[in-house]
Amino acid sequence: MSLLPIQVLGSSILRVDTTPVVEITDELQLLIDNMFYTMHAAQGVGLAAPQVGRSERLAVIEVETQPLVLINPEIIEEEGSERAEEGCLSIPDIYGDVQRSARVRVRALDRFGQSFEVEGTDLLSRCLQHEIDHLHGKLFIDYFSFLKKRSAMAKWEMQKSKYPSLLRFLSPDDVRRLREEHDDHPGERM
Ligand code: ZN
92 Cα: distance to centroid of ligand 1 (angstroms): 10
For β-strands 115-121 and 66-79, DSSP reports them as unpaired
pTM: 0.95
Q: Is residue 1 part of a domain?
A: no
- Distance (angstroms) between ligand 1 centre and the Cα of 131 equals 6
Residues paired with residue 108 on neighbouring β-strands, in sequence order: 116
Residue 114 Cα to ligand 1 middle (Å)? 25
Ligand 1 centroid to 90 CA: how many Å? 6
CATH number assigned to the domain comprising residue 107: 3.90.45.10
Which residues are close to ligand 1, an ion, with C-beta < 5 A? 88, 190
Cα atoms in the Cβ-side hemisphere of radius 13 Å centred on 91: 24
Q: Does 133 map to a domain? A: yes
Ligand 1 centroid from CA 126, angstroms: 11
* Residue 188 annotated among the catalytic residues of the structure: no
The number of distinct structural domains making up the chain is 1
Alpha-carbon gap, residue 10 to 169, rounded angstroms: 16
Of the residues 56, 86, 131, 188, only one is catalytic, namely 131
**Has residue 156 been placed in a domain?**
yes
Range of the domain at 111: 6-189
Q: Is residue 53 part of a domain?
A: yes
Burial-class residue 171 by CB neighbours within 10 Å (0-12, 13-18, 19+): exposed
Question: Please, which residues have CB within 8 angstroms of residue 161's CB and are 6 or more apart in sequence?
Answer: none
Ligand 1 centroid to residue 189 C-alpha, Å: 7
Per-residue pLDDT of the chain (190 residues), as tens digits, is 899 999 999 999 999 999 999 999 999 999 999 999 999 999 999 999 999 999 999 999 999 888 999 999 999 999 999 999 999 999 998 999 999 999 999 999 999 999 999 999 999 999 999 999 999 999 999 999 999 999 999 999 999 899 989 999 998 888 888 888 766 665 688 9
Say if 26 falls within a structural domain: yes
